[in-house]
Amino acid sequence: MTSSKKPVMELLRRNSSKRQFLELKLHAAIEEELFYPAVRQPAGDDLINEADEEHHVIKLLIAELEKMDSSADHYDAKFTVLGENVRHHIREEENDIFPKAKSMDKDWEAWGKRCNSASRNCLPTVCRPRRKKLAT
Measured CA to CA in angstroms, residue 131 lies from 83, 128, 134 at distances of: 32, 9, 9
Q: How confident is the model at residue 136 (pLDDT cuts 50, 70, 90)?
A: very low
Q: Is residue 135 part of a domain?
A: no
Task: State the first-to-last Cα distance of the chain, in angstroms, to the nearest integer.
Answer: 52
DSSP code of residue 49: H
The stretch 70-77 carries a mean pLDDT of: 90
Residues 10-35 have pLDDT tens digits of 656 545 577 788 888 888 888 898 88
Of 48 and 106, more confident: 48
Domain limits at 52? 2-126
User: What are 81-130's pLDDT values in tens digits?
Assistant: 999 999 999 999 999 999 999 888 888 888 778 777 777 666 554 444 43
Which amino acid type is present at position 105?
D
In a domain, 132, yes or no: no
- Domain membership flag for residue 133: no
Task: Tell me what the mean pLDDT of segment 68-91 comes to.
Answer: 92
Q: What is the mean pLDDT of residues 67-78?
A: 90
- Quick check: is 136 in a domain? no
The count of structural domains within the chain is: 1
